[in-house]
Structure 1
Amino acid sequence: MRVLVTGAAGFIGSHLSQRLLARGDEVFGFDNLNAYYDPTLKEARLARLLPHPGFRFVRASLEDRPALEAAFDDFKPQRVVNLAAQAGVRYSLENPHAYIDSNIVGFMNILEACRHRGVEHLVYASSSSVYGANRKLPFAVEDSVDHPVSMYAATKKANELMAHTYSHLFDLPTTGLRFFTVYGPWGRPDMALFLFTRKILAGEPIDVFNNGKHTRDFTYIDDIVEGVIRSLDRVPGPDPQYDPMNPSPASSQAPYRVYNIGNHQPVELLRYIEVLEQCLGRKAERNLLPLQPGDVPDTYADVEALNRDTGYSPSTPIETGVSRFVEWYREFYPG
């Protein structure tokens, strides 16, 4: 297939592109390589993809409509995976406009490009952050998600609503994927595992929010990619079980689906730090702090819908995933 991947120099996008190329798909990567975190890491991820004969790349932003439309017209993708977004919950407290530009305006441009060019299936990144203030665990796709606690979460919820509108009005098949705390080799430097590893190796104290008591459904990158590919290969149709008298947020009379991709095995942050200490062979000095604004105390994915429809659910334990990350980190940042 010809698959256009936005955010192709990103953590998930670069891993996904590798997997698609390995199975024989053509991939068109689209990414602006912005400076939200160190662009040299993005360039290093991209450098692994560029030599592949099935890979093409353009550097541009989703908000740049002419550049996006030119990419669609040039490549003529059959399917699209939209992973480009302004990421990060905490940054959204300081710079909310960046989220509107990338996650709302940019996603609108994606929807329009897909609609007018007959794309077979749009898969897009949502987030576990849409569950916001919900306290019922595990989080299920059938739950209401009307109480976001960050602008980042609000834009991801908005993406799901926008996608549904296009599925309904224009019969565009869309699948939204709510990712749960993704980690692994080539990961994001603004995420806990990367920050902790760098500071522990430098002998610096680590900031541990909520005194380390909150839990996260840490999901290994290979499991995320497998979930994305299975979802991409399964083009949704109208849900025959959908009941408009008792509507589910997870499906529709339109060709629309939403899935959680999580390890469905929440781990307390303190345990995550212990595993990292074992892998590094060093103890962390911990700076215990309260929960940050915009953060949620716990995440836990109910993946029943993903399992039912694709036959897949993530299963990599943190002991394996953290060990692989540390191995990569020591190789990428020697010394």
Structure 2
Amino acid sequence: MSEFWRRRRVLVTGASGFLGAWLSRLLLDRGAEVCGFDLTTGVCLAAHGLEARVPIVRGSVLDLAAVERMLRDQGTEVCFHLAGQSMIEGAAAGPLAALEVNIRGTWTVLEACRRAGTLRGVVCASSNHTYGVQRTAPFAEEAPMNQLDVYGASKACADILTRCFAASFDLPAVTVRNVNSFGPGDPHTSHVVTGSVLALLRGEAPVIRSDGSPVKAYLHARDTMSAYMLLGEHAAETGVRGEAFNVTPAAPVKVLDLVRALIAVTGRTGVEPVVAATDLSQKDFFEHLSGEKLRRVVGWTPALSLEEGLADTYRWYAERGTAWIGAGHRA
């Protein structure tokens, strides 16, 4: 195993979020010195028992001086930029705020990293949602970014800015377009896996808001963040610097089949998801990203199968109960 992260000083914006907490955990496991930059402390770090191990400096990624000061004071060597509006519904409800934090927030972090002049790697979170509707599948990184909703457009702009700073200023920056992540410590009860797990633990059948037909890719958060770390390790190298990379499993799955797979790993019988079909906005939705580039360039593949990831997630929530996460879900 590489010793790259040992005693490496790392800044994670959005460290208090679901994926930020997972990234912090994995970095600490590899010996990194992690500091978070976020507006809140949240519950996600606590879910991993990391409240005392990851200091959080409260601040906004819209504040250039604050980000610069954070990088300088910590002596940051690698920056992971995960902060921003990560919910599609939230972006639609507050488009101006979402556009500002996802676009301006990204260029602020990139500019702070450029001015610091000491960064060995800058990894910025883009999204699978930048692709929108494509004519052919699987979607490679060269495919056009066709998504026209607020969230997808904001992430597409951030994606372009990251590659712009790499090309224009030789910043060792890389863009990550990861698919839907699930796993222990996810507080978003609207996410299909988390919501379905909670329903099963309450003794209820999971409810799917769509008609179950949307085809999407799902990846355990541990695997998602292991890809981020590998790209952070190689960000300055030719073939990685300035590039965009999909982080995805080999194949997508229908939402209905995903929930059925979750039920199967719990060992429960006689339980079938309730297909409410109250939200048909994603009817006939099809998403299939190609992971070939990431495998070829840095050798990444998921460590967990879909079933293994679902089983791990269910066990975690079953052991810890549901009170910490709140009530309600939708899929």
TM-aligned CA distance change 1:142 to 1:334, over 3 Å: closer
TM-aligned CA distance change 1:133 to 1:308, over 3 Å: same
Q: Deviation per CA, 1:130-152, whole angstroms, max 9, x where unpaired?
A: 1112242111112121x213211
Aligned-pair identity in percent equals 28
Per the alignment, residue 193 of structure 1 pairs with 193
Per the alignment, residue 23 of structure 2 pairs with 16
Distance in 2, Cα, partners of 1:197 & 1:292: 23
Opposite residue 77 of structure 2, the aligned amino acid is Q
Distance in 1, Cα, partners of 2:133 & 2:209: 17
Distance in 2, Cα, partners of 1:286 & 1:44: 34
Per the alignment, residue 44 of structure 2 pairs with 42
Opposite residue 42 of structure 1, the aligned amino acid is C
Q: Does the 8 A contact of 1:204 with 1:285 survive in 2? A: no
Cα deviation, residue 319, structure 1: 1.3
Q: Is residue 314 of structure 1 aligned with residue 316 of structure 2?
A: no
Structure 1 ranges of 4+ moved more than 6 A: none
Per the alignment, residue 140 of structure 2 pairs with 140
Instruction: Give me the TM-score of the superposition, normalised by structure 2.
Output: 0.86
Cα deviation, residue 334, structure 1: 5.3
The gaps in structure 1 that reach 5 residues or longer are: 240-250
Q: Deviation per CA, 1:29-83, whole angstroms, max 9, x where unpaired?
A: 112238xxxx4x33524x722333xx43212221233332221121120111111
1:326 to 290, 314, 318: 314
Q: Is residue 90 of structure 1 aligned with residue 99 of structure 2?
A: no
Q: Helix, strand or coil: the match of 2:137? A: coil
Opposite residue 224 of structure 2, the aligned amino acid is I
Q: Helix, strand or coil: the match of 2:243? A: strand
Distance in 2, Cα, partners of 1:283 & 1:176: 39
Cα deviation, residue 163, structure 1: 1.2
Q: Deviation per CA, 1:187-219, whole angstroms, max 9, x where unpaired?
A: 241311112222344466755344101111111
Matches within 5 A, 1:81-230: 81-118=80-117, 119-145=119-145, 147-189=146-188, 190-202=190-202, 206-230=206-230
1:26 to 20, 33, 52: 33
Cα deviation, residue 226, structure 1: 1.5
Per the alignment, residue 243 of structure 1 pairs with none
TM-aligned CA distance change 1:22 to 1:204, over 3 Å: closer
Distance in 1, Cα, partners of 2:183 & 2:45: 18
Distance in 1, Cα, partners of 2:177 & 2:35: 23
TM-aligned CA distance change 1:104 to 1:334, over 3 Å: closer
Instruction: Give me the TM-score of the superposition, normalised by structure 1.
Output: 0.85
Per the alignment, residue 245 of structure 1 pairs with none
Distance in 2, Cα, partners of 1:223 & 1:264: 13
Deviates further, 123-132 or 279-288 = 279-288
